[in-house]
Amino acid sequence: MTVTLIWIAVALVAIGLYLSWTAGRLDRLHARIDAARAALDAQLLRRASVAQELATAGVLDPAASIVLYQAAHAARQAEEEQREVAESELSQALRAVFGEPEQMAAVREVPGGDEAAGELAAAVRRVPMARRFHNDSVRAARALRRHRAVRWFRLAGHAPFPMAFEMDDEPPVALADRAA
């Protein structure tokens, strides 16, 4: 009888340790998602800011400036539920404006244009990396949250189900060449 109680106690302690470890892991994944989302938001804001600055610098033709400025402004001002669409539209505007290498060459020729082009290329290159890191973190948390033990014991608590950030982040050809 005593041996049975000891084995039951050992089993309960082992289960408790496993659940505690799993809950801690899930908490760390949620913290990683929060940090990755903050980094993604910072990169998206930087890309929109640099695009907006370039649109108002007078180095682009007026039509390109208007298209780029409006898309960048919409991306900066978008509400959370419209953010993915607005950021995708900024990517499309960047591809429309900088789709031809001649446009980048024209920007580089004006004073300060080479620095602005380099800054935009760096911002455009960092967005897909930040988004990939965020979505990888979300994927890991979702996989852990699908486990039965996590669901049965409600180890995720009241944390919202993590959502991936899906957007069009393909860089324009002229900026991708510049960033490489």
How many H-runs (helices) and E-runs (strands) does the chain carry? Answer: 7, 0
3-state secondary structure of 161: coil
- The total number of residues shown for the chain amounts to 180
- Token digits of residue 58: 């007078």
**60: pLDDT strictly greater than 90:** no
pLDDT score of 147 more than 60: yes
Rounded to 10°, the helix 83-97/62-77 angle is 160
HSE (CB half, 13 Å, CA atoms) of 128?
12
Q: Is residue 167 over pLDDT 70?
A: yes
When mean pLDDT is compared across 37-41, 44-48, 97-101, 140-144, the lowest value belongs to 97-101
Which pLDDT tens digit goes with each residue over 79-125?
999 999 999 999 999 999 998 888 888 888 888 888 888 999 999 99
Please report where in the chains the tokens 């393909």 appear, as a residue: 170
Residue 100: predicted pLDDT = 81
- Percent of the chain past pLDDT 90, that is, above it, reads 79
DSSP state of 58: T
Q: Are 63 and 106 in contact (CB under 8 A)?
A: no
Q: Which residue has the higher pLDDT, 108 or 32?
A: 32
Q: Which whole number is the average pLDDT over 7-22?
A: 96
| Residue 141 structure tokens | 């948390």
What was the pLDDT predicted at 152? 95
